Chains A and B, each alone.
Chain A
Amino acid sequence: MTSTEEQIYRTDALIEENIDDYLNAHQHKTMLRFITCGSVDDGKSTLIGRLLYNSKMIFEDQLKALEADSKRMGTQGAEIDFALLVDGLAAEREQGITIDVAYRFFTTEKRKFIVADTPGHEQYTRNMVAGASTADLAVILVDARKGVLTQTRRHSYLVHMLGIRHIVLAVNKMDLVNYDQAAFDQIVEEFASFARSIGIAGFTAIPISGIVGDNITEPSSNSPWYDGPSLLPHLETVELEVSTDQVQPYRMPVQWVNSPNLDFRGFAGLIASGTVRPGDEIKVLPSGQSSTVARIVSFEGDRDLAVAGESVTITLADGIDCSRGQVITASTTPIEAADQFETTLIWMDETELVPGRAYWLKIGALVVSASFHQPKFEIDVNSQEELAAKTLSLNSIGVSNVTTDREIPFAPYTENKDLGGFVVIDKITNQTVAAGMIHFALRRAQNIHWQATEIGRDHHASMKNQIPTVLWLTGLSGSGKSTIANILERILASMNRHTILLDGDNVRHGLNKDLGFTEADRVENIRRVGEVAKLMTDAGLIVITAFISPFQAERDMVRAMMKPGEFVEIFVDTPLEVAEERDVKGLYSKARSGELKNFTGIDSPYEAPENPELHLDTSKITAEEAAEHIIKKLYP
């Protein structure tokens, strides 16, 4: 153990002798973000602690506290326990803090480092994915005594999936195998064959000891047979993706349209790839309009070049439409826009994926409504096998197609993380429930055009002399939806209104007879009814629907299909006890006896409407009165 005597990895001399030279040197530092993968047992915390210590990120007061802590804990005898510098899992558990990604910082003469430190166990897959998403490099730790484990394979698979191109296999605890070269070689060989099998192009293997400090900052005399780089020098010199990012065509999602006055209209964003200069010809997607870059505007004055990774503001020569969420690209090589994709999804929420349900999808600076199909398969992160799956739950990874409600400009994730990576947001809870990566578009949406019909919906409606409307009755079974709907249709008919009644039971005998009562099937049931209702309104009809439609998300989905004001959500509200007592169809007693599964109100939830246009309490009013209320709402 050489802790305190060990050379400090920083040039203190220059700081004292010539601070200006020092500052000048440090202004030209680059930055590397990396993730450490491994569990506490692999010595991950010790390694990170040592990196912080060796780059002198530890002050004297902190060091004193560390020495005292080390003695008290006694884990390393009288020596310093570097792991105490970073919070251990146990401490996090005690404090009740979410086990999470911790970001730590250290700096050397050549680089600033941001370390994403995440726990390695399978139940923290989502945390590791979050940490890996911003990393340029991954350090995969292996215990020299244990070799390549299931966990090692899982970590490697995940970092490769997230597109990290630089991988370091750090074979740790070499001191515990007497710096045996054969042990190291065997681990490297085993890892190499696995890495090849999942498509990892290359990696750097380094034998280290976090506790002793071997091959961390300089070659260790304990392993004379190793002639490769030590860990820190390797991290300092590994080539960044600058050239590959900049050699690609210019792409920039527009984040913010900066127009303080009529004379200035700038488009602000972070350049996702390529370079841009005044005079460059560009295209805006998905609109496809073209123009030329006029200026690159900055606080310090106009610039003649901006590159990938920079946040800039540009102006265009022509006054074309361009708004937040659109992507400005080089005109010679524009990107595609599409509305159906195959994707990899990493589910991050306690509530599982509901195929067919509408979620928010955020990609670049764009938020769209999107629904996922039933997964094609789930991937076993330990064996990398493809398993059949109906849904995805917390920490599971699968491949699923997604449909968005409009075209989005994109690039495959493997080409560009900013244009191919997305997050999925629950529309009700607003939680980020998944991360995803686009593989490819399922069809080129730009080749499919809407057939423009000559007689439009306005024409249909005017012939009928009415405003197309969807009267959406929602409520528990037995609340009186169908009864009210029938009365309502009769009244409207007497008023010469053209209506159509879509009833839950009837639709399930025909259009939706292939659907059951699982959550996913209920979502699909409502989606189809929504589409039918939309066609009916196009024909100018007043559509009355009577469906339990238990989930807010699907009612909102149908609302979003209609023009504003066309969708009238009517909550037919009856206490469960009252509905159950009525039990017209005898379904509640079947559900109570367990004969009927997934029955709303009994073993399947009903989400009451949050802001219905009309709220009718049918335990207090008759069906006729309820219908009158609706008529009054329609024709006040």
Chain B
Amino acid sequence: MTFKTLTHLQRLEAESIHILREVVAETENPVMLYSVGKDSAVMLHLAKKAFHPASPPFPLLHVDTTWKFRDMYELRDRAAKQAGMELIVHQNPDAIRDRINPFDHGSQHTDIWKTEGLKQALNQHRFDAAFGGARRDEEKSRAKERIISFRSAKHRWDPKNQRPELWRLYNTRKAKGESMRVFPISNWAELDVWQYIHLEAIEIVTLYFSAQRPTVERDGMILMVDDERFPLHPDEKPVNRSIRFRTLGCYPLTAAIESTATTLPEVIQEMLLTTTSERQGRAIDHDQTTSMEK
């Protein structure tokens, strides 16, 4: 008899698919938060696999800030269509009214567009489970996060009141109005995500690959000038640089790195040889929609 030894990616994939199916089977109205980043891309791919040949039986939700890179919007719409899934785009009407933007409002920008926007969208559609692409290896504080994180009817996270998770058994029972955030790729590390994208040929935003792009340098960070809304200082003039992004947020807040990596193996190579941690590029933009704590 021959045995088949599962690789680490096969085991991670099986676990994530199991979580996706379990939550869909036991909740009434699940949704997948889709931020168009590489983690979202992997999560969406896993959902397609989990429910094949059907389309994933839930919609995608993009909590939009209107300040994402143009390439991200383009891929978002195409990816949803290819997966045969409904795409719900939520833009916080308060933020639209008050013209909240990253240049004038700093960290408020993220809070109002994303954190508040997410709560609005979940309430409006009465979603009782939201899949997010957060991973435990992203920050030290996330090491203790559950795969399923419970929220009160007011979306409050009570760290003292989370349930133990044993074996492959997830307790998804909840009272009316309560909801949960589910993190199917909790146990994936950054390298796993990249390897899986490579192995499965998953499409990701081109911004992860190097190209000549118009940029300015501010406070030691390279920022891409993605459209005419970028307010240039009087002495600033966009310069073309060969850049790419390690993480993607709102374009004026996410710093690029100078790079020549134009293929996935080259990107992974650069990632492995780098000496700084992943989130550094987003010092001023913590992606809170996928955050486990929020």
Contacts and interface: CB of A to CB of B under 8 A. Distances in A.
A269 B50 CA distance: 9
Contact of A268 (B3, B50, B165, B186): B50
A133 to B, nearest CB: 4
Interface in B171-196: 171, 173-175, 186-187, 189, 191-192, 195
Contacts of B234: none
B162 A98 contact: yes
B53 A264 contact: yes
A26 B191 CA distance: 10
23 contacts: A16-B273, A23-B195, A26-B191, A86-B143, A87-B140, A96-B159, A102-B144, A104-B137, A107-B189, A112-B192, A129-B166, A258-B51, A258-B53, A260-B55, A268-B51, A275-B4, A299-B48, A307-B4, A310-B6, A421-B167, A423-B164, A423-B169, A432-B171
A133 B51 CA distance: 27
Interface in A247-269: 247, 255-256, 258-260, 264, 266, 268-269
A430 B173 contact: yes
A616 to B, nearest CB: 25
A423 B173 CA distance: 12
Contacts of B17: 270, 311
Contacts of B276: 59-61
Interface stretch (B101-109, B223-231, B264-272, B284-292): B264-272
A255 B18 contact: yes
Interface string A59-103: 111100000000000000000000001110000000011101111
Contact of B189 (A59, A112, A264, A268): A112
Given A31-B11, A87-B140, A107-B191, A23 B265 contact: yes
Nearest to A268: B21
Contact of A309 (B14, B52, B141): B14
A126 B24 contact: no
Contacts of A432: 163-164, 166, 171
A467 interface: no
B3 A59 contact: no
Contacts of B11: 31, 309
A30 B164 contact: no
B8 A243 contact: no
Contacts of B269: 15-16, 19, 22
B18 A270 contact: yes
Interface in B1-35: 1, 3-15, 17-18, 21-22, 24-25
A362 interface: yes
Nearest to A436: B166
B187 A114 contact: yes
Interface string B140-164: 1101100000000000000110111
A26 B195 contact: yes
Interface in A377-433: 417-418, 421-423, 425, 430-432
A130 B144 CA distance: 12
A27 interface: yes
Contacts of A96: 159-160
Nearest to A56: B272
A275 B162 CA distance: 35
Nearest to B264: A23
Contacts of A134: 166-168
A268 B54 CA distance: 12
A365 B273 contact: no
Given A268-B50, A309-B11, A255 B25 contact: yes
- CB-CB nearest 10 A-B residue pairs: A260-B54, A60-B275, A31-B8, A311-B17, A112-B8, A102-B143, A19-B269, A133-B166, A430-B173, A59-B277
A301 to B, nearest CB: 10
Contacts of B18: 255, 270, 311
B49 A19 contact: no
Interface in A9-36: 12, 15-16, 19-20, 22-23, 26-31
A546 B55 CA distance: 53
Interface of B: 1, 3-15, 17-18, 21-22, 24-25, 48-55, 136-137, 140-141, 143-144, 159-160, 162-169, 171, 173-175, 186-187, 189, 191-192, 195, 198-199, 265-266, 268-269, 272-277, 280
Contacts of B12: 31
Contacts of A269: 21
A27 B186 CA distance: 19
B6 A307 contact: yes
Nearest to B163: A432
A140 B234 CA distance: 64
A96 B161 CA distance: 12
Given A97-B159, A133-B166, A105 B4 contact: no
Given A29-B7, A31-B8, A305-B4, A299 B49 contact: yes
B4 A425 contact: no
B267 to A, nearest CB: 10
A298 B109 CA distance: 42
A19 B6 contact: no
Contact of A362 (B21, B51, B169, B192): B169
A270 B18 CA distance: 7
Which residue of A23, A30, A101, A104 has the most chain B CB atoms within 10 A of its CB atom? A23
A71 B279 CA distance: 25
A12 B15 CA distance: 30
A457 B291 CA distance: 56
Interface residues of A, number: 81
B166 A418 contact: no
Q: Which of B18, B49, B199 has the most CB of A within 10 A?
A: B18
Nearest to A101: B144
B214 to A, nearest CB: 28
B279 to A, nearest CB: 10
Interface in A341-364: 348, 360, 362-363
Contact of B168 (A129, A130, A270): A270
A101 B166 CA distance: 11
B264 to A, nearest CB: 9
A235 interface: no
Contacts of A98: 144, 159-160, 162
A126 B163 CA distance: 11
Contacts of B166: 129-130, 133-134, 421, 423, 432, 435
A84 to B, nearest CB: 10
A203 B62 CA distance: 50
A269 B12 CA distance: 15
B134 to A, nearest CB: 13
B197 to A, nearest CB: 11
B271 to A, nearest CB: 10
Contact of A19 (B8, B140, B171, B266): B266
Contacts of A97: 144, 159
Given A430-B175, A431-B163, A309 B6 contact: yes
Nearest to B190: A105
Contacts of B159: 96-98
Interface string A517-531: 000000000000000
A31 B8 CA distance: 5
A348 B164 contact: yes
A111 interface: yes
Contact of A105 (B14, B24, B137, B163): B137
Interface string A360-377: 101101000000000000
A421 B21 CA distance: 19
B54 A311 contact: no
Contacts of A158: none
A464 interface: no
A479 interface: no
Given A101-B144, A111-B8, A255 B21 contact: yes
Contact of B14 (A59, A246, A266, A311): A311
A111 B266 CA distance: 22
Given A23-B265, A31-B7, A362-B171, 13 more contacts: A16-B269, A59-B277, A103-B143, A103-B187, A104-B137, A105-B189, A107-B189, A111-B8, A243-B3, A275-B4, A299-B52, A363-B169, A430-B175
